[in-house]
Amino acid sequence: MASSQRGRWMRWHRWLGLLLLLPILFLVITGVLISVSEVRGWQHEPVQARLLSALYGVPPDVPVAGYRVGDHWLTQQGGRLRFNAEVVTRCADTLVGAVRYQSLVAALCGETLILLGDDAALIEMMSGAPAQGRRLGTDEAGHLLVATRAGLHEFDALAGAWRERSPDDVEWAQEASLPDALREQLAQGAPLPGISRERVVLDLHSGRLFGRAGVWAVNAAAILMGLLALSGAWTWLGRVRKR
């Protein structure tokens, strides 16, 4: 009688293990991806996918305006600075403006000054710009200026620092509507605002990506894994007692 009972437990254990093969592999893989997400910087990596846009109900981030510098456009999309359609560097803060500065293109992202070549090459990035910058511009002498609530600040290229200066005639960068052709380029593979690669992996692991049904499926799989562990322990104990 005991032997037949253990046999039934063993058959249930085997079928349960087969049933849970894919769910266990899924949770193991997504769990490993979560553990390495911070090291790989996935918390800052945007995602681009129409399917994810539909699942999250979030429309892609397609900018409609930017700053024109000569024949180039600088925009912010998905926490990144774009030179025309090319991604240059991260820009998680507000893009204050972009202007021609000497032979370079200067952009101010939050408190970081970014200097670029006309070929979109990143020349230099310098932190320490005045906080809460409102506008970026140049004066008649070509000096780079930032306006804040506290006043006007001029960039000293030799010292690599900012200093206060008195108000003067300044040509400020003006945001303008992007050309339709550029907007179409930016719309291709546009990132989802507020959705990082790490967030997608976390939501996959928990089932939240698929709504309540996904959460219930993951919970059910977890309960069945518990039963699998108990049936395995029960079978092993039965063999130990038989010895």
CATH number at residue 76: 2.130.10.10
Task: Find the domain containing 122 and state its range.
Answer: 65-187
Mean pLDDT of the region 155-165: 86
Mean pLDDT taken over the chain: 86
Distance (Å, whole) CA 54 – CA 24: 26
Does 112 have pLDDT greater than 90?
Answer: yes
Let me know if residue 203 belongs to a domain: no
Let me know if residue 127 belongs to a domain: yes
Does 227 have pLDDT greater than 50?
Answer: yes
Identify which has the larger pLDDT, 9 or 114: 114
Q: Report how many domains make up the chain.
A: 1
Let me know if residue 2 belongs to a domain: no
Identify which has the larger pLDDT, 12 or 157: 157
Q: Contact, 105 vs 126, CB < 8 A?
A: no
Q: Model-level pTM greater than 0.85?
A: no
Let me know if residue 73 belongs to a domain: yes
According to the model, what pLDDT value does residue 144 have?
93
Let me know if residue 196 belongs to a domain: no
Backbone angles phi, psi at 66, to 5 degrees: -165, -165
Let me know if residue 181 belongs to a domain: yes
According to the model, what pLDDT value does residue 1 have?
44
Mean pLDDT of the region 68-72: 93
pLDDT tens for residues 116-138? 999 999 999 999 888 888 899 99
Let me know if residue 110 belongs to a domain: yes
Distance (Å, whole) CA 172 – CA 21: 62
Q: How far is CA 237 from CA 2, 3, 129, in A?
A: 12, 13, 69
Residue 242: pLDDT band with limits 50, 70, 90: low
Does 210 have pLDDT greater than 80?
Answer: yes
Let me know if residue 183 belongs to a domain: yes
